[in-house]
Amino acid sequence: MSESINRVVLAYSGGLDTSVILKWLQQTYGCEVVTFTADLGQGEELEPARAKAQLLGIKPEHIFIEDLREEFVADYVFPMMRANALYEGQYLLGTSIARPLIAKKQIEIARKVGADAVSHGATGKGNDQVRFELGYYALAPDIRIIAPWREWTLTSREALIAFAEAHQIPVSKDKRGESPFSTDANLLHTSSEGKVLEDPWEEVPDYVYSRTESPEDAPNEAEYITVDFEKGDAVAVNGDPQSPATLLATLNEMGRRHGIGRLDLVENRFVGMKSRGMYETPGGTILHLAHRGIEQITLDRGAAHLKDELAVKYAGLLYNGFWFSPEREMLQAAIDHSQAKVSGTVRLKLYKGSASVVGRKSPNSLYSAGIVTFEDDAGAYDQRDAAGFIKLNALRLRLLGRRDGR
């Protein structure tokens, strides 16, 4: 770690941990720190981060604060939703999808301010360090990366707080005691893990949930909503056209009210261990189901089945941090190609923890009541064709059966 660093761009939340990192970077590397604080819809004010950075000695022109909510949803969440990506069959990848955008912005700022390094506050056990750093390296192959949690000796809460106090970093009262779990939040989801969640046999305590009503407390009446899609992306809720981030926020509020999108999961991290997390993805869960619903009538079977196979790979790449990789982009090209006609309206029922598709319609529908009907179809489909279809599909099995008996 002896190389000299001149200027480092830090992903800065304004919280205790990244404030300690800020100071530690200044001390350890004797370098200038540039802070980057992004609004990804995590639901926190950003201006306090500015004040705190200034307090810690960061020059005003080196404090970057950006509202990335629309870019986040339009260019990251929506492409992922087109893929119907679920990691390990269930996780909607809410943390994974935010990291590449933060990494990209840090690199842009590093170029703007002539920084030679970037830094983040992710620990050495998790996936986020990988996602940040693969992003940095893909976009700026020769950047220096500083991951304090892998380097420093502040491995206990006490050491961290002692460091903070020794360096005039304000420590709010509620941070003195340790949080009983750790969270990450953005417009798509809130994740919680650690501490009280570490025993996968124990139910997640109520107080861990922050983004959704409990199903028990949700309204006793179901709510019906519609989501409109254009080329695979949601564009309106209940007929009201909305920008990507606004739309996701609208669905979040609906999902929150009805207790939708809670997930208790033990997952496999890229670094090789299992971890237990709890995710709340209210709007994203609705969006995922709605997208599947509109694809049901607008997507051809061949395209749909290929997508189902590719989605497994795609989700794995995102989870592992390979957003900026040729293979993710290849999959995206294939997926996006399939979405040209994925337009129409989906109707969903929200009720006490569940979202269900109850109707879908589209000017591009491939569903043909005239063909599928049990009634007379006026010759649209000749049932005798099925005999030949089956005979030839069976031919190889018959040859096998003759050879092998059963």
- How many beta carbons lie within 10 A of that of residue 99, not counting itself? 27
Does 383 engage in binding with a second copy (CB under 8 A)? yes
d(CA 188, CA 81): 11
Q: Per residue in 30-53, is it b (16+ CB within 10 Å) or e — as a string?
A: ebbbbbbbbbbbbeeeeeebbebb
Q: Is 398 a catalytic residue?
A: no
* Closest C-alpha to 340, from 318, 366, 368: 366
d(CA 299, CA 15): 45
* Closest C-alpha to 102, from 30, 171, 9, 235: 9
Does 262 engage in binding with a second copy (CB under 8 A)? yes
Q: Which is closer to a second copy, CB of 27 or CB of 389?
A: 389
* Closest C-alpha to 284, from 127, 97, 153, 159: 97
Does 312 engage in binding with a second copy (CB under 8 A)? yes
Q: Residue positions in the annotated binding site for L-aspartate?
A: 123, 127-128
Stretch that binds a second copy, among 32-40, 46-54, 136-144, 240-248 (CB under 8 A): 136-144
Task: Pick one of 41, 89, 109, 191: the residue that binds a second copy (CB under 8 A).
Answer: 89
Q: What minimum distance in Å lies between the beta carbon of 11 and a second copy? A: 16
- Residues 190 to 229 in contact with a second copy, rule: CB under 8 A: 194-195, 198-204, 215-216, 220, 222
Does 292 engage in binding with a second copy (CB under 8 A)? yes
Find out whether 103 and 10 touch, Cβ atoms under 8 Å.
Answer: no
Does 15 engage in binding with a second copy (CB under 8 A)? no
Task: Say which residues have a Cβ less than 8 Å from residue 239's Cβ, sequence separation at least 6.
Answer: 226, 228
Does 175 engage in binding with a second copy (CB under 8 A)? no
Does 353 engage in binding with a second copy (CB under 8 A)? yes
Does 162 engage in binding with a second copy (CB under 8 A)? no
Q: Is 156 a catalytic residue?
A: no
* Closest C-alpha to 77, from 330, 263, 288: 288
Alpha-helical (H) ranges within 167-211 are 173-176
Find out whether 205 and 195 touch, Cβ atoms under 8 Å.
Answer: no
Per-residue contact track with a second copy, 222 to 261, x per CB under 8 A?
x---------------------------------------
Task: Pick one of 51, 55, 162, 372: the residue that binds a second copy (CB under 8 A).
Answer: 372
Does 393 engage in binding with a second copy (CB under 8 A)? yes
**Region of 26 on the Ramachandran plot (φ > 0 left; ψ -120 to 50 alpha; else beta):** alpha
Q: Is 17 a catalytic residue?
A: yes
Does 82 engage in binding with a second copy (CB under 8 A)? no
Place of tokens 């950047």: 143
Does 325 engage in binding with a second copy (CB under 8 A)? yes
Does 271 engage in binding with a second copy (CB under 8 A)? yes
Per-residue contact track with a second copy, 32 to 71, x per CB under 8 A?
----------------------------------------
Q: Which is closer to a second copy, CB of 30 or CB of 205?
A: 205
- How many beta carbons lie within 10 A of that of residue 370, not counting itself? 11
Residues labelled as active-site residues:
17, 99, 128, 182
